[in-house]
Amino acid sequence: MSSIKYDVIRRIGTLSASAKGWKKELNVISWNGRDPKYDLRDWAPDGEKMGKGVTLSIDDLKALKDLLNHMDELND
């Protein structure tokens, strides 16, 4: 099985942290040398291990932002 290579281009912020120190972070990451994308996932305290996550293009991120900005309308 081939290893996954990644390069954290920019750390944007932490959404939450668990009691064990894992943090849910939004970052910009280049996966396997590809163009960087926005990435939301859990990271171990040492930053070496990661949980499952979701990778978003800038268009996906903007669409998610629009959805979140209209949550009150969606819940009616």
- For 51-75, what is the mean pLDDT? 90
Return the pLDDT at 4: 87
Instruction: Report the chain's terminal Cα–Cα distance, integer Å.
Output: 47
Residue with tokens 């819940």: 75
Which secondary-structure segment (H or E) carries 71?
Answer: helix 71-74
Q: Which two tokens stand for residue 14?
A: 């932490």
Whether 30 is in a domain gets the answer yes
The answer, yes or no, to whether residue 2 has pLDDT greater than 90, is no
Whether 12 is in a domain gets the answer yes
Whether 1 is in a domain gets the answer no
pLDDT tens digits along 17-59:
999 999 999 999 999 999 999 999 999 999 889 999 999 999 9
> What's the total number of domains in the chain?
1
Task: Note down the domain range covering 26.
Answer: 6-74
The answer, yes or no, to whether residue 11 has pLDDT greater than 80, is yes
CB 1, CB 9: distance < 8 Å: no
CATH number at residue 16: 2.30.31.70
- For 13-18, what is the mean pLDDT? 97
Question: Is the model's pTM score more than 0.75?
Answer: yes
Q: Are strands 50-56 and 23-31 parallel, antiparallel or unpaired?
A: unpaired
